[in-house]
Structure 1
Amino acid sequence: MSDAASQGPGLDVEEYIEQQHFFQGVQSGLDDNRPMQDILKSMRDEILVTTKLPMAIDYLAAELRHSGLFYPAMKRLAHYFTGFQTFIVESSEDDRGKFDFLSGLEILKLEAKLRAEHISAQSLFLYQFETICRHRLKYDQGFAAMASDPMYDEHWRRFLEINRRRVGLIDIADMIYTRSEHYITQQIRRGGNLPGSDFPPLFGEREGRIALANRKRDPLLLFSALQRQMGYPKVPVKRKVDEAQFLIPQMMRRMERLEARIKLLEDENRGGIDLTKFYQSDKGAPNFDDFGD
């Protein structure tokens, strides 16, 4: 790939490839219960020094030591991390939410892969929008973060700003249908009013037909239909915790407690529990004569 082909809105392709590797490495390190500082150090050594990511990792590590969080540093690195990336990390680090950090890393890893493959603005919007819907994140903050993405031109940013205040008031399928080429085709056939030049279609004919067929239905069904019919990227679902890995340690702790209780019962049946074994060895039994009346 030539240098010209690797350029586009945002960063170079190699930056997104290294970001994908970084998010994957952090995810694998957390799965292995490694300390985050060690993970960042090892990942910094793996990342290409020709990219800007090593400097960003140093900044993230410094912020982690200072506040224990990543998103404040990512906000200050807005020229490198997109607003949506920062929004995902901030949502995953919110103690009041149910969105976990590992799920956020999975989403960011796939998004970086899509950006490296020169994803279209339509695909990026549907991926980010489904992420917000599926994981029940905040629409207002999410749309504001999406609008700051360099992948979107002026028409897309206006579309995001308008619908940022309308989510929940209009059907999501209508949001896509009314900005599609299929809507214009239907308006011409019916002799209706056409949108002005300030509101050009952002979605194609097929997207509009699929959106029209999914009106008044669950938005996740709309996203699923677009993925089947148009090949749009799928959003990672929330990772399920394998409870089987905790089953044996829990059973061992319970058995230890049962053994301790059984031993106390056996000691009591033999003539009483010997309390001297619970005394500190250097002090022996307490002398109550030391206390006054």
Structure 2
Amino acid sequence: MSCHDAHHMTQSLLDREEYIEQAYFFRVYRERLEQNTPAQEILGLIREEILATTRLPMAIDFLAAELALHGRVSDGMARLSHYFTPFQTFVVSKAEDEQSRMDMRIALQVLEREAEYRSESPEPAAMFVYQFECLARNRLGYDYGLRAVAGDPLYNDDWRDWIERIRMQLGTVDFADLLYLRSQFHVEEIRRRNRDPEYRPSYPVLFGIQEGRIAWANLGKDPLYMFAALQRQLGYPAVPRSKPASSRPLFEPAVEMRFQRLEARLAMLESETKGEFDLSKFYKEPRVEPSDET
């Protein structure tokens, strides 16, 4: 038995309430990071809000301890492999990797939406396409990425074998092709073409008729079109995207004014040291300004 299989055996699907609390955890974590709250403080605060009947508060305690020790949340997630999936750990580790382009806020949003989907009635086909699109959109790399995906307890042996197989084929075979060839639509096409309604494929069929039709319609196209069509037609979960740079000011107006005043003072000091200080600029009606202390 490979170490991958051993890893998989330590993991089983969690109760629905765990995934609901996980989705809440990832969302609040992201929102508070956006408010520049330190990660250690966020973990301490969220722990109190999480439902105490779940295992998540204990997991958060462990993550906080690992963060304090090593400065990385993903190290803690990796050691809680019975609770967090390899994919969840992989996404966070990529966001914590300085070489990666993955932003932590997007990583948390990806995991929030994934946990939400898990709390409903997750289908392996939809979950796989969601996880694959996350890898593709964020350029996280297919080799380690698909290895992490294959370790998900939602997938049975047929799925894991197929994921391992396509890990080797990606780059040489079109992704839409890989999906189409494992669909019920492909089986129906063979039956029709060979006039053999009894035809049974020798391999497991993993995708339905609709998925196969959508894959077939997207052969040779950018796979992002196929992902969008699966979301539109079949309600597959949509992958969060990084937002374009905000047009909002970097600082709040009051802070912005204070910076401008500091810049003006610096400019004044610089010109004074150069002997270029011109007092006439300041011969204006005095205006009452709030003091720096307010």
Deviations 1:167-197 (A, max 9, x none): 1110011010000011111112222996743
Find the aligned partners of 2:37 and 2:272 in 1 and give their Cα distance.
43
Q: How does 1:117-196 map to 2 (within 5 A)?
A: 117-191=120-194, 196=201
**TM-aligned CA deviation for residue 227 of structure 1:** 1.1
Residue 233 of structure 1 is matched in structure 2 by 237
Within the candidate set 260, 265, 272, 2:271 is matched to: 265
Residue 9 of structure 2 is matched in structure 1 by none
Correspondence 1:215 to 2:219: yes
Correspondence 1:53 to 2:56: yes
My pick for the range that moved more, 149-158 or 258-267, is: 258-267
**Aligned CA distance change for structure 1 residues 212 and 258 (closer, same or farther; 3 Å):** same
Deviations 1:232-286 (A, max 9, x none): 1110001334252316656854553344334553672579xxxxxxxxxxxxxxx
1:10 alignment partner, SS class:
coil
- Contact 2:187 2:201 survives alignment (8 Å): no
Find the aligned partners of 1:259 and 1:73 in 2 and give their Cα distance.
47
Deviations 1:25-61 (A, max 9, x none): 1112111111211111111111111111111101100
- Contact 2:50 2:56 survives alignment (8 Å): yes
Residue 21 of structure 1 is matched in structure 2 by 24
My pick for the range that moved more, 48-57 or 247-256, is: 247-256
Instruction: State the number of aligned residues.
Output: 262
Deviations 1:59-85 (A, max 9, x none): 100110011101111111110000110
**Aligned CA distance change for structure 1 residues 125 and 116 (closer, same or farther; 3 Å):** same
1:244 alignment partner, SS class:
coil
- Contact 1:227 1:233 survives alignment (8 Å): yes
Find the aligned partners of 1:226 and 1:38 in 2 and give their Cα distance.
39
- Contact 1:135 1:238 survives alignment (8 Å): no
**TM-aligned CA deviation for residue 136 of structure 1:** 1.2
Deviations 1:131-169 (A, max 9, x none): 111111111111101111110011100110000111111
TM-score by length of structure 2 reads: 0.83
**Aligned CA distance change for structure 1 residues 264 and 154 (closer, same or farther; 3 Å):** closer
Find the aligned partners of 2:99 and 2:30 in 1 and give their Cα distance.
22
Find the aligned partners of 2:74 and 2:64 in 1 and give their Cα distance.
11
Residue 286 of structure 1 is matched in structure 2 by none
**Aligned CA distance change for structure 1 residues 116 and 264 (closer, same or farther; 3 Å):** closer
My pick for the range that moved more, 27-36 or 148-157, is: 27-36
Residue 205 of structure 1 is matched in structure 2 by 209
Identity %: 43
**Aligned CA distance change for structure 1 residues 177 and 40 (closer, same or farther; 3 Å):** same
Within the candidate set 11, 14, 19, 2:14 is matched to: 11
Deviations 1:189-243 (A, max 9, x none): 222996743x121111111111111011101011011111111111000133425
CA RMSD, aligned part only?
2.2
Where does the alignment leave 5 or more consecutive residues of structure 1 unmatched?
A: 1-8, 272-293
Residue 91 of structure 2 is matched in structure 1 by 88
Where does the alignment leave 5 or more consecutive residues of structure 2 unmatched?
A: 1-11, 279-294
